[in-house]
Homo-oligomer: A and B are copies of this chain.
Amino acid sequence: MSYTASSALAIFGAPAQRDPRVVRRVIRAGGWTGHTSGLVPQYVQGNVVILPSAHADDFLRYCQRNPKPCPVLAVSEPGDHRLPVLGTDLDIRSDVPRYRVYRAGRLVEERADITELWRSDLVAFVLGCSFSFEQALIDAGIRLRHVELGCNVAMYRTNIETVFAGPFHGPLVVSMRPLSASAAIRAIGITSRFAAVHGAPVHLGDPALIGIADLSVPDYGDSVEVHADEIPVFWACGVTPSLAIERARLELCITHVPGKMLVTDLSNAALASS
């Protein structure tokens, strides 16, 4: 964590001054393959899913039916590696620090560039991620334990099924942040305004009501303590579409490596509804 932060400081300068276009240019040149959490704090980062166009319509319908876990920020034209709405120079083949390549539902390799794998039928989806609303919470003075501990947020599979579309289906996955009641109330008000990045929580309080047996054993990420005067608050999580894609066992699918996201030119503040 500190290694990453100090490397980032050497390469990119002070966080508040960083230009997302410069950050993408460094990533494009292979100069950064690390995590992107906190890398450009005021700008939106996205989850990336790249699919053959034969499955793109089904996946877009899956996202439309499950907007909280799958908030679509942008979709490319088939075969087009650009996403100008997220950055005029953006090239989805090279601007993610590290990619995962799945074939027939199996992870076959990780790589820093997918230009060689690009095809005229590939469609790129960029989905909102919780970094944006976490920044809004931190800016509002709400302390997030996993951020303060420098660990990953705790994530859990729930007993809530997403609405399927074509081959895409699976359980809703949630991230959990322990908050005092007053912080939880403020956090709900704030994240309600960020529909493009998971929006308001999907649950709070008793984890058993959504099929979570033990909060201390997350399915993904790191466990954090919930203090006696705190309530666990659960938001829909971007791991949900990853699970749905795995289960769909597509001929080819390319995603980002978790935590190594696409940096865009959209400001987090611009995502908030009024």
A residues neighboring B (CB under 8 Å):
181-182, 184-186, 188-189, 192, 200-206, 209, 229, 231, 274
Nearest residue, chain B, Cβ from A230: B205
CA distance in complex: A182, B229 (Å): 21
- B204 pairs with A181, CB closer than 8 A: yes
Query: What residues of B have a CB within 8 angstroms of the CB of A205 in the complex?
Result: 181, 205, 231
Point out the residue from B192, B206, B231, B274 that lies within 8 Å of A189, measured CB to CB: B192
Question: How far, in angstroms, from A217 to B70 measured CA to CA in the complex?
Answer: 44
Whether B189 and A202, one on each chain, are in contact in the complex, defined by CB atoms closer than 8 angstroms, is: no
- Is the Cβ of A181 less than 8 Å from the Cβ of B200? no
How far apart are the CA atoms of A184 and B203 in the complex, in Å? 9
Highest count of chain B CB atoms <10 Å: which of A182, A188, A202, A203? A188
Give chain B residues whose Cβ lies under 8 Å from the Cβ of A200. 185-186, 189
The verdict on A184 contacting B206 (CB below 8 Å), with A189-B189, A192-B189, A274-B274 known, is no
Chain B residues, CB < 8 A from A204: 181, 184-185, 204, 231
Q: Which residue of B lies closest to A210 (CB)?
A: B181
Given contacts A182-B202, A209-B229, 16 further A-B contacts (CB under 8 A): A181-B204, A181-B206, A181-B209, A182-B203, A185-B188, A185-B201, A185-B203, A185-B204, A188-B188, A188-B189, A188-B192, A204-B204, A204-B231, A205-B205, A205-B231, A206-B229
A231 to B207, CA, bound (A): 13
Chain B residue at smallest Cβ distance from A188: B188
Determine the distance from Cα of A181 to Cα of B181 in the docked complex, in whole angstroms: 13
Residues of B within 8 A of A231 (CB): 204-205
- Please report the C-alpha to C-alpha distance between residue A197 and residue B229 in the assembled complex, in whole angstroms: 27
> Which residues of the other chain, B, contact A201 by a CB distance below 8 angstroms?
185
A178 to chain B, nearest CB (A): 12
Tell me the bound Cα distance from A272 to B182 in angstroms: 21
Minimal Cβ-Cβ distance residue in B for A190: B192
Query: What are 16 of the A-B contact pairs (CB < 8 Å)?
Result: A181-B204, A181-B206, A182-B203, A184-B204, A185-B188, A185-B200, A185-B203, A186-B200, A188-B192, A189-B192, A189-B200, A192-B192, A204-B231, A205-B205, A205-B231, A274-B274
A185 partner residues in chain B, CB cutoff 8 A: 188, 200-204
A179 to chain B, nearest CB (A): 10
Q: How far is the CA of A182 from the CA of B158 in the complex (A)?
A: 15
Q: Which B residues are CB-close (under 8 A) to A192?
A: 188-189, 192
**CA distance in complex: A204, B185 (Å):** 8
